[in-house]
Amino acid sequence: MKKVHILKNKLAKAGAKASFVAVTTLGSASVFAQDYSAEIETAKTAATGNVGAAAAALIAVAMILFGLGYVVSIFSRR
């Protein structure tokens, strides 16, 4: 019976140590987390600029094609 109590005490101590290690490991994981909010804002700004540039390019191409089509139609009438 004495061996059972000794084994129980050892397991209880080992369990307490294991839970302490788990808590300190998980607790320190939040310390190593990095803040990427500045990089996200930079990427968002760049993406907004790219969308604006793509829209401007699309409008410019449409205007050029419309102008060329108009010039061709004028010359084909004569």
Q: What pLDDT is stored for residue 8 in this prediction? A: 72
How confident is the model at residue 3, as a pLDDT?
Answer: 73
Domain boundaries in the chain? Answer: 1-33, 46-78
Cα radius of gyration (the chain)? 35
Q: What is the DSSP string of 23-49?
A: HHHHHHHHHH----HHHHHHHHHHHHH
In the predicted structure, residue 2 carries a pLDDT above the cut 70: yes
The answer on pLDDT for 22 being more than 60 is: no
Query: Residue range 56-69: average pLDDT?
Result: 97
Q: What pTM was computed for the model?
A: 0.47
Where is pLDDT greater, at 27 or 6?
6
